[in-house]
Amino acid sequence: MPDVAVLGASGYAGAIAASLLWRHPHFELRHVTARSEAGAVLDEVHPRTRVPLLLEDYDPDVQGDVDAALICWPHRVSAPAVAALRERGVRVVDLSADFRLRDQAVYEDWYGSHGAPALFGAGVYGLPELYREAIAGADLVANPGCYPTAALLGLAPLARAGAIADLVIDAKSGVSGAGRSPSATTHYISADENMTPYKVERHRHTPEIEQELAVLGASLPITFTPHLVPLAQGELVSCYVTTTSALDDTQLADLYREAYEDEPWVEIKHGPPGVLEVRETNYCRISVHVDGRTGRVLVFSAIDNLWKGAASQAVQNLNLMFGRDESEGLR
Amino acid sequence: MPDVAVLGASGYAGAIAASLLWRHPHFELRHVTARSEAGAVLDEVHPRTRVPLLLEDYDPDVQGDVDAALICWPHRVSAPAVAALRERGVRVVDLSADFRLRDQAVYEDWYGSHGAPALFGAGVYGLPELYREAIAGADLVANPGCYPTAALLGLAPLARAGAIADLVIDAKSGVSGAGRSPSATTHYISADENMTPYKVERHRHTPEIEQELAVLGASLPITFTPHLVPLAQGELVSCYVTTTSALDDTQLADLYREAYEDEPWVEIKHGPPGVLEVRETNYCRISVHVDGRTGRVLVFSAIDNLWKGAASQAVQNLNLMFGRDESEGLR
Amino acid sequence: MPDVAVLGASGYAGAIAASLLWRHPHFELRHVTARSEAGAVLDEVHPRTRVPLLLEDYDPDVQGDVDAALICWPHRVSAPAVAALRERGVRVVDLSADFRLRDQAVYEDWYGSHGAPALFGAGVYGLPELYREAIAGADLVANPGCYPTAALLGLAPLARAGAIADLVIDAKSGVSGAGRSPSATTHYISADENMTPYKVERHRHTPEIEQELAVLGASLPITFTPHLVPLAQGELVSCYVTTTSALDDTQLADLYREAYEDEPWVEIKHGPPGVLEVRETNYCRISVHVDGRTGRVLVFSAIDNLWKGAASQAVQNLNLMFGRDESEGLR
Amino acid sequence: MPDVAVLGASGYAGAIAASLLWRHPHFELRHVTARSEAGAVLDEVHPRTRVPLLLEDYDPDVQGDVDAALICWPHRVSAPAVAALRERGVRVVDLSADFRLRDQAVYEDWYGSHGAPALFGAGVYGLPELYREAIAGADLVANPGCYPTAALLGLAPLARAGAIADLVIDAKSGVSGAGRSPSATTHYISADENMTPYKVERHRHTPEIEQELAVLGASLPITFTPHLVPLAQGELVSCYVTTTSALDDTQLADLYREAYEDEPWVEIKHGPPGVLEVRETNYCRISVHVDGRTGRVLVFSAIDNLWKGAASQAVQNLNLMFGRDESEGLR
């Protein structure tokens, strides 16, 4: 069984990833790290994981002694660790944004200077439903952002059909998306009974969605606005698509059935999805509608931001990288 | 002091309206009615109101003995009561949809046959910020829907400037918008930690928004999608406007400042509003942004769906109808 | 593999039980029933289960064709179905209260007449940590109530030691405990941002707790008060024990370690438990404290009311009844 | 009109106090202070207050130029400011714990050394329902803690009747009680869908409750355990009283009616209170029950921890100190 490490296991996504790998039938979780909580047992920091491993300080010579690592660190901090582990032959799924973008100028514009420029662009974009084969052969996989995961799965069939002329994405996320650091935003009293748009015009998932839509055939600037809603885990993207030519319900249904009928983790539904339906799962649940009044196509796509939007998708990628059934350890 | 009645005081909006009028310096709350809870004291049904009046059965000969009435009943049920009270000379603010639309065919298409066709179209649309003078002279005011209130206040400056070429409204509401009847939708376990689009393509506030936008100068079919979010009171509309010509931030700021600088209940803010900021108030809080990437204008407008979206706006209208300061009893 | 049926799979506990059995390595879920939703697929009614079975009408000749059944029906309705299935040789875990009490007069006092008096008292009380061996040989197991599960696991070591002189239990439960029927109590607007005691002096779990404490050695009337708190799943009982003689922290710690050190599903912790730590698990998490000021012993015990308090404990019992590891299908 | 200042207006209680005083008919709010947010407008920090005053740095020579001050600072930090303002002749309501206790050794045991020992014990305990006359003549009022407010109002009639032989208080509070500083405890993801006991055996409100119960006639050590529940504002104390002699429902009802029938802010109800019923009010809502099984008396007492438990009670005290109707500005 391949040995694995999870770097940044004290964050929400890292803790879930560690929990999934601890129970995985074909990986052996050897190391979990945490910056400020090193020395504690993961179990105590995140009781729901029930992973009794000691959180270690990061040391590439220690955690580099594995076959694969999931890195759950912020952008810019992640890249040097990716480089250090790759040098030691460790296969990496990086959950940060550092290896998602293809254009370094775009990266620098949105994130600042890159932490391992020699490796820039070396990762495969880890959305299994789009890049399954490339992931299977990859040593470095860039796990997608949560919003891009939901948006791209929702829009891929339209983008590939050349049907997207204009696009507005109104996205909503639970509070775990803001991370585990206590802040005014994540304070219960700020978030409870509230909802608000945030990072209007400047959320970093915008160029990532645009890049991948372009690969699929839809090169256009998009409007993307995330909103914070008062729940813990769950993400919904509501996509408003002006189409290049009129589509009717049957054409639309065919398009999505063909795209996803064999996908184990994408569910196309008649009625709009609720985020609770995918909570703590690797599923993405989608509905598609033609708005009869305007001809616009509406796509609603729901995921758990910490699972399919981060941790469980990382394990799905890891499964593919090691030639396993991509669903192992995820049901 | 004019005597007033609140019909349908056991619903959420009716109870708040009764509470506001009970404490109002210039109206005397004489009657409150409820269908199934007649005989109980309002206070017991809705403790937060602290209104010790007995809930009565509806009888136009009883409640018709007042100067004004707020009717907080569903569409189609409301119109006959409006007619009966108007016959007795009672001035009415109707919170249902029965007198909001101008085109009877549109009404029938969305709501079915009208309950008092002789009065169809007789009401003034009760959005004080747009129709203050007409409301002041009216005997029948049609209180706007909650979503139209937030959307129209957010979009009026653009509509009047002829700037709206295309429009998507993504709206989000707390659970009180679904009414007080227990149902699968309003069950705590369905709504908690969930969010979902609802009534996709067919929410009845769509033609109401279109009608009023057309009056303001923007005749176009719109895409309007409401979502249910897990909070009690609060409504946010996120408006995505493709403009007829490019607007910069300064032009936009000027447009909104001119429109609202003297309005007591509209707040234009630099950053996006949260619904908690307007909770249990008559305020509508708005921010406007130019999306530099696409040129699109984004408008976020937040209200309390039960206050500015229903009860407190009805009192604001009542104040105007009786020549009082429109803000009396609302601070 | 034994065939099993879940009766009442459209309720919250029934749906979870069906979901656990659908994925269980050693039972084959053959039938799921629902009264009003028969004809629908369980998956559609409870998307999170992802069980694609058709909900059937109850017919003992249909669902009686299995080796074992979990009955998730209300008290009094359940007993006749238990009798019908037992006649057909089906081994039953009954989640209602019908077979928990030993004294028929007490049952009738709290619940009314019994629906299958010939079988009264025929069940084994299904708390595996107390009655593991009896459950293993049983054909009919009475799955404990949610509050009794948490309270008895929390108090058993003290009761067996003869240490309980007086007892107050202040219990708190999430809203799922009130069942799936929409009502004023379960309406989001009633429960959200609220908490309240309910069924003061008359909650039906009181005699069940007293009966089982007496079996353990503590015969006394207790004060038991449940409270409704605004969360979906989770239950905490705070037990205030006046002891028969003074106990110090070490004695207390020894008592609980000895009782539970080999139990797979009971966790004794130093600090007080939060219900989120046991959410969607079969764990009961307990802390014990001596209040230095008063000498009183405080016990806090947390479970998921739908899991250890109902569905997963039923599966734990089923495992024992069929000679399997009691934890199968629960991790 | 007397000029007033609110020190610590950026905290939750301070912001509400400022909001109430800004709209108060007989006080003029002149100064609001904040440590880290000085320079901002209160309105921006706490939009719901709609108080457009600039937050100032604390300077006794600036804010000392008023007739009265509310100090919303933590214990130990508050006392020196109280002293500085008292020297300048300012009448003070102190919301910290610094002047609540009568026994300095007890204070030091629970809080450490006192910040103005010369003034220790100089304050009147500001529970108007118990000390109305003393408050009216006081220059320094120690506003009670939130839990003591709810507990003492709930227990005073029993304590005065000499009826309390033993007492357990199980208290539950919303998250605002933990203050505005972001922390692991107040993070949305920690508090949401969770509940947990905290500060078991060592919450600082314990000696305060004991002291005041003793004054009323019940000298005994108590068990007091607070719990954190997932809501913003609201506090419920469930009191379990072993009585010195048996009481029946009528005696109990008489006791409470006599105690509170003329009190404007105490509501005695037949059924148990919910915290939502008193949200954002100065009310304390109480129900009393005799548990027939054990003879124990149960008292449930609900307040809004930030209003009657802090800010609105402070204004109630200020009204009394200045000879006004104690309810002014609170309805």
Profile chain A (331 residues) by mean pLDDT over runs of 10 residues: 97 98 98 96 97 98 97 97 98 98 98 97 97 97 98 98 98 97 97 98 96 98 98 98 97 97 97 98 98 96 98 98 98 89
- Is the pTM of the predicted complex or chain greater than 0.90? yes
Shortest CA gap B12–chain C (Å): 10
Tokens of B135: 């409301």
Could you report the per-residue pLDDT of D257-279, keeping only the tens digit for each?
Answer: 999 999 999 999 999 999 999 99
Shortest CA gap C193–chain A (Å): 9
Residue A170 pairs in a beta bridge with A225, A238
Q: What is the SS3 assignment for A239?
A: strand
What helix, strand, coil percent values describe chain D, rounded to 5? 35, 20, 45
Residue A278 Cα distances to A273, A289, A301, C55, C193, angstroms: 9, 20, 10, 22, 25
Are D189 and A182 inside 8 Å of each other by CB? no
Distance from C-alpha of C27 to C-alpha of C9, rounded to nearest angstrom: 16
Question: Residue D45 has what pLDDT?
Answer: 97
Residue B63 Cα distances to B1, B3, B67, B77, B170, angstroms: 16, 10, 10, 16, 40
Residue of B nearest to C233 (CA): B189
Distance from C-alpha of A32 to C-alpha of A11, rounded to nearest angstrom: 11
Q: Does an H or E element contain B5, and which?
A: strand B3-7
Shortest CA gap D152–chain A (Å): 27
Question: Residue B186 has what pLDDT?
Answer: 97
Q: Pick from D176, D187, D192, D193 the residue to mutate for testing the C interface (most C CBs within 10 Å).
A: D193
Contacts of C331 in chain A (CB under 8 A): 23
Q: Tell me, what's the ipTM?
A: 0.97
Shortest CA gap D117–chain A (Å): 35
Contacts of B189 in chain C (CB under 8 A): 12, 175-176, 180, 186, 232
Active-site annotation holds for A284: no
Chain D touching partners, 3 or more CB pairs below 8 A: A, B, C
The size of chain A, in residues, is 331
Could you report the per-residue pLDDT of D173-228, keeping only the tens digit for each?
Answer: 999 999 999 999 999 999 999 999 999 999 999 999 999 999 999 999 999 999 99
Residue D93 pairs in a beta bridge with D70, D141
Contacts of C12 in chain B (CB under 8 A): 189
Q: Which residue has the tokens 């820039």?
A: A120
Task: Output the CA angle D63-D68-D74, nearest 5 degrees.
Answer: 70
Residue of D nearest to B276 (CA): D48
Name the band, by pLDDT with cuts 50, 70 and 90, for residue B126.
Answer: very high
Question: Residue C6 has what pLDDT?
Answer: 98
Contacts of B172 in chain A (CB under 8 A): 172, 195, 227, 229
A195 touching B, CB under 8 A? yes
Average pLDDT over residues B12-18: 98
Residue A241 pairs in a beta bridge with A167, A297
Are D192 and A12 inside 8 Å of each other by CB? no
Name the band, by pLDDT with cuts 50, 70 and 90, for residue B230.
Answer: very high
Return the HEC string of C131-179. HHHHHHCCCEEECCCHHHHHHHHHHHHHHHCCCEEEEEEEEEECHHHHC
B47 touching C, CB under 8 A? no
- The answer to whether B101 and B207 have CB atoms below 8 angstroms apart is yes
- The answer to whether C298 and D225 have CB atoms below 8 angstroms apart is yes
- The answer to whether A148 and A212 have CB atoms below 8 angstroms apart is yes
Question: Residue C73 has what pLDDT?
Answer: 98
- The answer to whether B154 and B299 have CB atoms below 8 angstroms apart is yes
Residue of A nearest to B275 (CA): A194
B187 touching D, CB under 8 A? no
Distance from C-alpha of C46 to C-alpha of C200, rounded to nearest angstrom: 32
Question: Residue A87 has what pLDDT?
Answer: 97
Name which of D14, D19, D60 is nearest D37 in CA terms.
Answer: D14
Question: Residue D170 has what pLDDT?
Answer: 98
- The answer to whether C237 and C265 have CB atoms below 8 angstroms apart is no
Are C188 and B193 inside 8 Å of each other by CB? no
Catalytic site residue from B72, B146, B239, B284: B146
The dihedral over CA atoms of D128, D134, D139, D144, expressed in degrees to the nearest 10, equals -40
D194 touching B, CB under 8 A? no
Q: With a cut of 50, list the residues of chain D below it in pLDDT.
A: none
Residue of C nearest to D235 (CA): C195
Q: Pick from C188, C231, C276, C306 the residue to mutate for testing the B interface (most B CBs within 10 Å).
A: C188
C214 touching D, CB under 8 A? no
Nearest to A193 among C193, C279, C280 (CB): C193
B40 touching C, CB under 8 A? no
Q: Which of residues 14-33 of B touch D (CB under 8 A)?
A: 23
Amino acid present at C170:
D
Could you report the per-residue pLDDT of B37-50, keeping only the tens digit for each?
Answer: 999 999 999 999 99
Question: Residue A108 has what pLDDT?
Answer: 98
Average pLDDT over residues C267-271: 96
Q: Pick from D48, D189, D231, D280 the residue to mutate for testing the B interface (most B CBs within 10 Å).
A: D48
Could you report the per-residue pLDDT of C82-102, keeping only the tens digit for each?
Answer: 999 999 999 999 999 999 999
A47 touching D, CB under 8 A? no
Q: Average pLDDT of chain C?
A: 97
Are A186 and D191 inside 8 Å of each other by CB? no
DSSP D88: T
Summary count for chain C: helices (H), strands (E): 11, 14
Q: Does an H or E element contain C223, and which?
A: strand C223-228
B43 touching D, CB under 8 A? no
